[in-house]
Every structure is written in C-alpha cells, then in structure tokens.
Amino acid sequence: MPIYEYRCKQCGIKFEKLVKLSTNTSEIECPRCGAQKAEKTVSLFGTSGSASSGSQSLGASCGPVG
C-alpha cells in the first residue's frame, strides 16, 4: 500500500496516509478536524547515491552542467 499526501479542504492541514489503491478520496478523513474533504497533493521524492563516475549525485539538479 502506497503512502499518499493529502490536504484537507476544510482546515488546510497537510497529512500523509497509507491507503489502498482502490480507496476513494472522499473516504479519507482529516486527522485534525475529521472532515472527509481531502484532496491528493503532488508529492516529490528524493534519491541518494552517486553516478557511475562518482562525480555527480543522482539527485543533482536537472539544469545544465558546466
């Protein structure tokens, strides 16, 4: 089961929830106010490690190098 990030439309709190893929967003309850008015937010992920040359991190910026 993946962890999704949500924002409550009623109180504005952001929270994470471990949910089944088939779970409807209207079933997600806010941990602060109890409202069932959550919306999925876009979440970012990070990576760690180094490239094969060892000179750049895999999480390096996508911008031009040099």
Residue 37 has pLDDT above 80, yes or no: yes
| Domain ranges (residues) in the chain | 3-40
Exposed/middle/buried for residue 55 (C-beta within 10 Å: 0-12, 13-18, 19+): exposed
Q: What pLDDT does 8 receive?
A: 96
Q: What pLDDT does 29 receive?
A: 94
What's the pLDDT band for 52 if we cut at 50, 70, 90?
Answer: low
Q: Pick the closest to residue 13 from 43, 2, 34 (CA basis).
A: 34
Q: Which amino acid appears at position 2 of this protein?
A: P
Q: What pLDDT does 42 receive?
A: 84
Q: Pick the closest to residue 36 from 49, 44, 24 (CA basis).
A: 24
Question: What pTM value is reported for the model?
Answer: 0.61
Tokens of 57: 């991190």
